[in-house]
Amino acid sequence: MSDTTPGDPNAPALPEAEGPAVGRDEWVARHGERRLTRGGRLGEMEDRLRAVPWWAFLILFLAVASLMPAVEASGYVRRVGFDTAIYMLLALGLNVVVGWGGLLDLGYIAFFGIGAYAYAIFDSDKFGIHLPTIVAIPAITILGAVIGLLVGLPSRRLSGDYLAIVTLFFLELFETVMLNGNQIFGHNITGGANGILNVDPLSFFGHTLVTQHQGIFAVSYYYVALAVFAVVFVALRFANLSRIGRSWRSIREDPLAAEVMGMPINWLKLTAFATGAGVAALTGTIETSLTGSVFPLNFSPTVLITIYAMVILGGSGSQAGVVLGAILVNVLLQVLENPDQARVLFYLMIVVGVLATFRFTRRLAVLAVETIVLGFVIHAIVSAVHPSWATEGHNGFSGLMSHWVLVPENLTPWVGQVAYGVLIASVLGITLLRGWARVIALPPVLYLAAFVWENLMIPNPGPTRYIVLGLLLIVLMIARPNGLLGERRVEIV
Amino acid sequence: MPTFLQLTLDALTLGSVYALVALGYSLVYGVLKLLNFAHGDVVMVGSFIGYGALQAFGGAQSPAVPVWLLLILITLAAMAGCAVLGVAIERFAYRPLRNAPRIAPLISALGVSFFLANSMQLLFGAQQRDYQSYLLSGGSLYFRGFDVDTVHVPLLRIITISSAFVLMAILWFMVNRTRTGRAMRATSFDGEAAAMMGIDVDRVIVFTFILGSALAGAAGVLLGLRIPTFTAIGFTLGLKGFTAAVIGGIGSIPGAMVGGLLLGAAESYTAGYWTTSWSDLVVFSILITFMIFRPQGLLGRADIRKV
């Protein structure tokens, strides 16, 4: 396998191969070799980074994260930090199922909901039960894992598609049951659409962690979430390095081969599934202890796609990757809420995308000049013909951009609808073009994209965020299925 | 308390729409072995196209053309629009992933589903769109019809059920009695062998998406004629559609019809005799039961794993 050493004879000898790694085939191994032989400063840096053990990164990350509230003390930042930690936990759990087990679990958010509801039922005034936190959290985590096991059971001898159906239906069912749970044989258990309110905050040995401190979000919850994150991260890390982690990866790579080797693949699938469910349930308890309430609609498929986008963007199978994905996606969602930041983000992404595609070539120069000129020409013509279509005069970045892109005072709905439709069609069409044809055709599309973004998408952050996440999933699956930090996998036929 | 006959009528109406949706899943699964999660959203887009076409012809109050022609035209518009949409989805979201691991196109399909639902919401808002079919020719779609015992069968129900069955008959004919249909069956039986025999598999897949999505468009209009439509219906509809496909045997065309009708029956009898809010639970139980005891569905052929 390694007898074809590429490159010049003076190159340093390759490190001794570590022997065949489980769950890797020849192509992946060669990919690893290529990485080892990558020269230059970049390769050197990569080698050094690879030599740093994973726990060093974890400690560094935790240190930076725990210093964050000290740097920026606003309640908003703390709350976003807490949410990010929750998302990181959820992404870690989903990574076990999707990244390691290779199972498509579309009911993952239901287990998050089960944890949240279980905590709300066992720790609130609703039934007057107040379990101590130290008992409730482990018990609910196990409950989540057991329910996960039960849900996975019917699909154990079936292919991945059937698991996807059963789990997706389970999510839908969970929502239905929680919505109608106020009339189960005349008993009100889940509070229906009104949810359960006044859930206890966390308390340890009689010491209660308040959720609000002098009107702003108490920082203690942020640290609790971080601590739980650290524990879950390390536990899953060890699981992955151990025998069961190797087995999980083997069923992901080739279930048939694993079965032939005598692995109990059904049991392994179920454990992966149950582990993910347990982590989700655990996360649900922490989330609910802070928010103090649960509602059925908190656990909709829209949350599911958010978590999937995190895992796929970061790189499914890589723990550091999914954590990075969780941070990036949550920041993205926050940015999309703010019109000014969303505007800057859009143009930044365009510039980065164009730079990455064309590098510093003549094509880039032509493209840039063409795009800028096109915008000013359109702007000049339209403002001469129809002045109310080209408003100007905001300050800052948006004011600057309003000299280029058209921002009508009142956009007639059909104009936006047509522009959006044409934009989608032309973006799809442009992927079919190659070479100079693409360079020539791109500027109008970019201009149209800016127009749609400014006039249609920035004013509607609700749908826009899920459009962006949906697109992210499609584009990533096609262009870079291994995400940012994941390892590329190959299907062996 | 609605009578048994009334509920059976509901079951037939609901079931025929589910069957049309299930057929789209089944066809695509047959040739690509892919669960097209976006299919439910294609149905939703179809019902919106139908609504748009209806407004373009002057609305339900005073349509510019006779009612029978109007209904045919809006159905055809939705079918054509959805066919184009389906082909685009296949070309840009699924074809690049043809040889990727099985999980990749599924995730891409999830992305397409969210993209479609939220794009429609961005463009047209979240409010309901009512076809107002009760206004068509002074409400005769509801008054006319015939009576069975004490139950009135409105014309609209007859149109819904019969057009669904006509479409299924046309589909059956296309799949079983035409050259392209034979190519489809060959591809679904063994894609690789079909390609070796000179069948253009890409063309067959595009054709499959055209058929499936056109049926989705028709289903969208039939649904929209009876109940107001909005952008979030796609998700639930998709779920019901593929449950029906699984019950009947995914990949089997008669199976999808039987599955759709069974699901419709389960839902309307549950709603009639027990409660509406738990009908999902009943459907889910049926799905689980089938998965455990008969994973190949009622009419599907058992999946033989080749090593």
Q: Which residues contact B53 (CB under 8 A, 6 or more apart)?
A: B73, B74, B77, B78
In angstroms, the CA A281 to CA A137 distance is 9
In angstroms, the CA B7 to CA B277 distance is 16
**Interfacial B residues in 221-240 facing A (CB < 8 Å):** 235-236, 239
**What pLDDT is attached to residue A152?**
83
Cβ–Cβ contacts within 10 Å for residue B84, how many?
15
Chain A contact for B56 (CB, 8 A cutoff): no
> What is chain A's pLDDT, residue by residue, as a tens digit (493 residues)?
344 444 444 544 444 444 444 555 555 556 555 555 666 677 777 777 778 888 889 999 999 988 888 787 787 888 888 999 999 999 999 999 998 988 888 999 999 999 999 999 988 887 878 888 888 999 999 999 999 999 888 766 656 677 888 888 889 889 888 888 777 777 777 878 888 888 888 888 777 777 777 767 778 888 999 999 999 999 999 999 999 999 988 888 888 888 888 888 888 888 999 999 999 999 999 999 888 889 988 898 899 999 999 999 998 888 999 999 999 999 999 999 888 889 899 999 999 988 888 888 888 888 888 888 898 888 888 888 877 777 766 667 777 777 788 888 777 888 889 999 999 999 999 988 888 888 888 999 999 999 999 888 988 898 999 999 999 999 999 988 888 887 665 544 4
Chain B contact for A162 (CB, 8 A cutoff): yes
Helical H segments across A386-452, by residue range: 396-401, 413-430, 435-452
Task: Give me the mean pLDDT over the B30-45 stretch.
Answer: 91
Nearest to B64 by CA among B55, B72, B76: B55
**What pLDDT is attached to residue A160?**
66
**What pLDDT is attached to residue B258?**
92
**What pLDDT is attached to residue A405?**
82
Instruction: Give the single-character DSSP code of A130.
Output: B
Q: Which residues contact A429 (CB under 8 A, 6 or more apart)?
A: A441
Containing structural domain, residue B134: 10-232
Contacts of B104 in chain A (CB under 8 A): 477, 481
A161, A259, A472, A493: which to substitute to probe chain B, counting the most B Cβ within 10 Å?
Answer: A161
Rounded to two decimals, the ipTM of the complex is 0.90
Helical H segments across B33-178, by residue range: 39-56, 67-89, 103-124, 140-143, 155-177
In angstroms, the CA B153 to CA B143 distance is 9
Helix H or strand E encompassing A192? none
What residue ranges in A250-361 does DSSP mark as E strands? none
Domain membership flag for residue B288: no
CATH architecture of the domain with range A56-337: Orthogonal Bundle (1.10)
**What pLDDT is attached to residue A25?**
54
Q: Which of A154, A312, A462 sits opposite B292 (nearest CB)?
A: A154
Contacts of A176 in chain B (CB under 8 A): 277-278, 280-281
In angstroms, the CA A253 to CA A268 distance is 13
- Are A173 and B92 in contact (CB < 8 Å)? no
Q: Which residues contact A340 (CB under 8 A, 6 or more apart)?
A: A396, A397, A398
Encoded tokens for B85: 């949409």
Nearest to A239 by CA among A85, A51, A97, A105: A97
Per-position DSSP letters for A69-126, written without gaps between them = HHH---HHHHHHHHHHHHHHHHHHHHIIIIIIS----TTHHHHHHHHHHHHHHHBBSS
Tally A–B CB contacts below 8 A. Answer: 138
Task: Give me the mean pLDDT over the B248-253 stretch.
Answer: 83
In angstroms, the CA A160 to CA A163 distance is 5
Quote the percentage of chain B above a pLDDT of 90.
53
Number of domains in chain B: 1
Domain membership flag for residue B201: yes
**Interfacial B residues in 33-52 facing A (CB < 8 Å):** 33, 35
Side-chain-side CA neighbours of residue A72 (13 Å): 10
Q: Nearest CA to CA, how far is B91 from chain A (Å)?
A: 9
Considering only the C-alpha atoms of chain B, give the largest distance between any 2 of them, rounded to a whole number of Å.
63
pTM of the model: 0.88
Domain membership flag for residue B239: no
- Residue entry with tokens 């192509």: A27
In angstroms, the CA A119 to CA A286 distance is 9
In angstroms, the CA A357 to CA A44 distance is 25
Nearest to A93 by CA among A77, A114, A79, A76: A114
Chain B contact for A245 (CB, 8 A cutoff): no
In angstroms, the CA A288 to CA A198 distance is 10
Chain B contact for A429 (CB, 8 A cutoff): no
Q: Nearest CA to CA, how far is A161 from chain B (Å)?
A: 7
Contact B88, A446 (CB under 8 A): no
Q: Which residues contact A129 (CB under 8 A, 6 or more apart)?
A: A121, A122, A123
Q: Nearest CA to CA, how far is B99 from chain A (Å)?
A: 8
Residue B304 pLDDT greater than 70, yes or no? no
In angstroms, the CA B15 to CA A293 distance is 39
Encoded tokens for B267: 């839902």
**Domain map (residue ranges) of chain A:** 1-51, 56-337, 341-459
CA A91 to chain centre: 7
Chain B contact for A466 (CB, 8 A cutoff): yes
Taking CA–CA distances from B287, the nearest residue in chain A reads: A166
Contact B42, B117 (CB under 8 A): no
Contact A139, A209 (CB under 8 A): no
Q: Which of B92, B121, B292 sits opposite A463 (nearest CB)?
A: B121
B122, B250, B281, B292: which to substitute to probe chain A, counting the most A Cβ within 10 Å?
Answer: B122
Nearest to A366 by CA among A284, A417, A461, A440: A440
Taking CA–CA distances from A491, the nearest residue in chain B reads: B101
SS3 A294: strand
Encoded tokens for A50: 């690879």
SS3 B80: helix
In which band, very low, low, confident or very high, does the pLDDT at B56 lie, cut at 50, 70 and 90? very high
Encoded amino acid at A83, one letter = D
Q: Which of A158, A173, A462 sits opposite B295 (nearest CB)?
A: A158
Domain membership flag for residue B27: yes
